[in-house]
Structure 1
């Protein structure tokens, strides 16, 4: 009995010590204590629970999960702990399965369920969970829950989910303001998002003002995600210099959040495009490291993977580009971007025919091929000059083939093929489609007018008249339609044209609303407009006024005459030289710079030479030929004495002066 009583006392003491260590957050010592308890009482459920909690607090999730699996008889009630360990070990789907098996989930299980659903990007279901928690729970964690709800709303906004517009949020903290900015980003309202992000940055700094122990490095670390998001907003608004400055500012501080750094690296690579490829490769390696798998959502991972494919293409790494494109096709079968990148790579290698064959096979096999791939295929056919096949593809686009842009392209292509009938059919089909499916569209009137103009140009005035008559019934006050109709009737029924022309208003009526002064003052491309404006300004200055004002204006406009410049030694008593305007070499007293000793050579056609033997190169002495060569120069001691060497010393030392040009 004494031993049993002593063991009971020891276990009670150990539990008391465990309670004290837990309150003091000394989890390592608490783990040793609970191990002593379990050694004495292996089946104690509370001790087992405490051990699992200690392991979780020490971030030893793998050990805690193994312990739960190892002892199912003691861990049947530890649903939250099991799901939390799975969540922290990135076994998110397993964690969701564990949580869904709970019949009546507690509040903490609902909190964890919301986190798991957010990680799995099931935003709609996550929104319902957090809305229920925010509505029914009141404790010290209300602000955190509302922040999480704001993050879910931002995700819904990016997915264009209508649930995102059903809830209003506060913006008292910088986290709430940041999530509100993300919500606006989903709506593509970049200007308002920028305002929210700058407010979030200001609130974050104010929040640290009361903490005297907070360093500037800690504040910058908290601002990392806000600055990178602000850089993205500026980048989308076409402010690359400001965005790049923010990205480099964050990366210079070596952010602790690798996800934030990866986004900044990727966005800088977007700036570089096909320039500075070495820097882009280095940054892309940092943005695609293995530890980023669970730090980025699927949209971010997809964008980085696409940019990596493009980087491979720009750096002429064709094999890596193909492998990455094929991998993206397997991961994102519904996306067109991997196919477009692969086609671009083939076109860069000047294998347009292979690109066409690849796209043709994919479009044929795919039941719901996207319009972008079909339009790309049409563009490739145009690049090779296959106009007929391009027209067939454009006409197979369904309702898009009746849109004004595609109709215009088809008419232009058929006109270049001199197939007027096909172009006319395209226009008629477009008019028919709009009348059946969208009769109130403004595009209908545009297509009818252009169709009428086309038929008028090609001598089919009767078709143009029918179309314009129908448009005029819908728009009786449209003078442009009336003018076109008169033009059409001139070719079909001149009497009817004359009758309709009487309905046109007079020229005075048409010009009543025209501001002539505004037209004259406009900066048009008409020749002499600037000169006319100067004259008009001069006339405006000559407004009637007092004689003194008019005299003052005349003085302002009067040009001051300048006396011409005269030479320094100009003699006013003598007449100027009549040859003063001629070039110096053409004056009668010009002697030239040197005497020409070869006067026997007359001026004649190029290549003509005299009969002098001195100019015959075949009879020249070896010494003369050597002297004429520009490469070897004989020394003064060995050079033969010629006429130049026999000149006086003064003439040998005289240097030629460079010409300074003609003096006038």
Structure 2
């Protein structure tokens, strides 16, 4: 049948005849290759047919004229082909209004720029005129973005707090909310929401049976993951029956499904079967790629299987090849993960001192390899040698601090790396080093545009324990800046008040009303339960007590209730002994030295007055005592006379 004219065809075109539209466009372009209208329609038809690579070829052959006319379509084709940077530039040039904002959000989401994605969806939600037709889609995408923010460790940018009544009616929103809970570590609420999402999807009247099966597959795979994390193997076996891996079209979802199924079936009994199963699915490409946190987990599982089958040399070569292309120092998770497995390959299954012997030379050659450094630190800690772990950390961090490169300085004060050092200091009770390290890091990050709030808060809280007024002033400045960023941050207000109360109380007096009352904070505390449980000693006090106990003599010391009281014979007790009466504390002193002593008679009172300090001195008594002191002793002075008198006679 001859192709119909393009204008007449477009008048009757529907979403079901894209192939016929494409044939008509090809016929028109065969006559006129520069027909811009036909090129535009052909590109749209190819996009509807999911032929994104062919659509990009149309844009490439048509030139800049078509890209300017169909900028949004061109950006969408780039996005679906995984060319995210080019897609972001095309969206920015298109200026297509609300549609461009939706596409920019999708590109940012796929590029793992989740904070920017959340900002875009928040802006779109504020436009109430256009919001009504997109409310469900915006809610679904916002919850998905929040889940990714939790996985990324950026929980401060999350905007959704709880599901609304409308959200509970959509299985997509409930499922994304479940993923958000799982990312936070709340596995039990996540499992309950997954079960509800399954129920809503199964009972939906809007989906065809094949669409329900396609939607239920990723939910079941996520459900299996949650059950494995909770150790519910029996329930996991029942969920395994719902997963048909061969029916999964997306390679990324198929890889996750196979990984979870392998772990659920306990194939680790035979490591070679485990190795084959984990390497069975090919890598996904273009837009069908795993997110970073997913890829890191699967890469770790794959290299763990390499260790089980003793493929040490192969793992060393593969990890070293990737690490050679990575800059040092690097705080990227995948780079440091590969460093750990590279070290494990060199250790060849050894642990403790034997593993350190193989790994320490690697750290000498790569002193800025943070993953390798943390591996050495962990081995020292496992061996109980915290001092060597601290020394190794300090040496590596000092080398980064002496460098002038900005990347080295940023890695030196990385919050994660700093938390490891602080934890090591805490094990040895080094409070001064903790305070100085946090203060130094806070001074560095305060000059940056987006400092880590958690680190600044920890540094300021540590400086509150200092007796130096300069440290208290610094803590006040940090808390004040945190309060400026978030006026509802009560921790910042409380810290600012605590830091300035001893310096200038008038500056914080107005802030006291913003803090909760003490009665409200302690109202739900069971004081009786706390008293019965006792007070747990801090790590430093426990260490000091252990050291004191180790240096003291060993002696039997039962507690007060359990100590056996010494039995006293009745013959040793006085005749008028009363156990209920408290004994006199001065009973061991002479009578005249007790506080209750009162002398009788004139002579007794006179002698008592003479013994009283500060009393009147009797001249007669003074003269008699002086005469007694001047009178020579019977033996003579110097002992000379006595020595002659007592000398024995010898032979003449």
Check whether TM > 0.5.
Answer: yes
In the alignment, structure 1 residue 458 sits paired with structure 2 residue 523: no
1:85 alignment counterpart: 77
- Check whether the contact 2:319–2:339 (CA below 8 A) recurs between aligned residues: yes
Deviation for aligned residue 1:199: 0.4
Q: Deviations over 1:239-277 (max 9, x none)?
A: 133224424540366433332221122124445474222
1:621 alignment counterpart: none
Deviation for aligned residue 1:220: 3.2
State the secondary structure of the residue aligned to 1:286: coil
1:125-164 equivalences in 2 (<5 Å):
125-136=116-127, 137-138=130-131, 140-161=133-154, 162-164=156-158
Q: Say which of 217, 221, 229 aligns to 2:214.
A: 221
Aligned positions, number: 422
Deviation for aligned residue 1:292: 8.6
- Check whether the contact 2:19–2:45 (CA below 8 A) recurs between aligned residues: yes
- Check whether the contact 2:59–2:74 (CA below 8 A) recurs between aligned residues: yes
CA 1:363–1:233 in structure 2 vs 1: closer, same or farther (change >3 Å)?
farther
Flag the structure with more relative contact order, 1 or 2, with Cα contacts below 8 A and sequence separation at least 6: 2
Q: Deviations over 1:448-502 (max 9, x none)?
A: 35414423542599xxxxxxxxxxxxxxxxx999x9xxxxxxxxxxxxxxxxxxx
What CA distance in whole angstroms lies between the structure 2 residues aligned with 1:28 and 1:101? 30
Unaligned runs of 5+ in 2: 396-419, 431-461, 473-497, 499-534, 563-652
- Check whether the contact 1:153–1:183 (CA below 8 A) recurs between aligned residues: yes
- Over the residues paired in the alignment, what is the CA RMSD in angstroms? 4.2
CA 1:51–1:353 in structure 2 vs 1: closer, same or farther (change >3 Å)?
same
What CA distance in whole angstroms lies between the structure 1 residues aligned with 2:386 and 2:200? 60
Q: Deviations over 1:291-336 (max 9, x none)?
A: 5983321211111111111101101122222234335645874344
1:277 alignment counterpart: 271
What CA distance in whole angstroms lies between the structure 1 residues aligned with 2:537 and 2:465? 8
In the alignment, structure 1 residue 124 sits paired with structure 2 residue 125: no
2:229 alignment counterpart: 236
Q: Deviations over 1:50-101 (max 9, x none)?
A: 2222232333333332232223353122111211111222222211121123
1:206 alignment counterpart: 203
What CA distance in whole angstroms lies between the structure 2 residues aligned with 1:342 and 1:274? 22
State the secondary structure of the residue aligned to 2:226: helix
2:345 alignment counterpart: 345
Deviation for aligned residue 1:399: 3.4
CA 1:278–1:220 in structure 2 vs 1: closer, same or farther (change >3 Å)?
farther
CA 1:280–1:62 in structure 2 vs 1: closer, same or farther (change >3 Å)?
same
Structure 1 window deviating more from structure 2 (68-77 vs 176-185): it is 68-77
1:500-519 equivalences in 2 (<5 Å):
none
Compute the TM-score of the two structures, normalised by the length of structure 2: 0.56
Q: Deviations over 1:597-644 (max 9, x none)?
A: xxxxxxxxxxxxxxxxxxxxxxxxxxxxxxxxxxxxxxxxxxxxxxxx
- Check whether the contact 1:174–1:200 (CA below 8 A) recurs between aligned residues: yes
In the alignment, structure 1 residue 294 sits paired with structure 2 residue 296: no
What CA distance in whole angstroms lies between the structure 1 residues aligned with 2:547 and 2:179? 50
CA 1:39–1:404 in structure 2 vs 1: closer, same or farther (change >3 Å)?
closer
What CA distance in whole angstroms lies between the structure 2 residues aligned with 1:134 and 1:150? 13
- Check whether the contact 1:259–1:292 (CA below 8 A) recurs between aligned residues: no
What CA distance in whole angstroms lies between the structure 2 residues aligned with 1:253 and 1:55? 27
- Check whether the contact 1:31–1:54 (CA below 8 A) recurs between aligned residues: yes
1:362 alignment counterpart: 363
What CA distance in whole angstroms lies between the structure 1 residues aligned with 2:286 and 2:279? 11
CA 1:270–1:328 in structure 2 vs 1: closer, same or farther (change >3 Å)?
farther
Deviation for aligned residue 1:192: 0.6
2:40 alignment counterpart: 49
Compute the TM-score of the two structures, normalised by the length of structure 1: 0.55
Q: Say which of 79, 88, 94 aligns to 1:96.
A: 88
What CA distance in whole angstroms lies between the structure 2 residues aligned with 1:67 and 1:190? 48
2:105 alignment counterpart: 114
What CA distance in whole angstroms lies between the structure 2 residues aligned with 1:204 and 1:362? 53
Q: Deviations over 1:575-604 (max 9, x none)?
A: xxxxxxxxxxxxxxxxxxxxxxxxxxxxxx
Deviation for aligned residue 1:22: 2.0
CA 1:264–1:455 in structure 2 vs 1: closer, same or farther (change >3 Å)?
same
2:53 alignment counterpart: 62
- Check whether the contact 1:177–1:196 (CA below 8 A) recurs between aligned residues: yes
- Check whether the contact 2:251–2:284 (CA below 8 A) recurs between aligned residues: no
What CA distance in whole angstroms lies between the structure 2 residues aligned with 1:264 and 1:327? 28
State the secondary structure of the residue aligned to 2:169: coil
State the secondary structure of the residue aligned to 2:168: coil
Q: Name the larger-Rg structure.
A: 1
2:573 alignment counterpart: none
1:193 alignment counterpart: 190
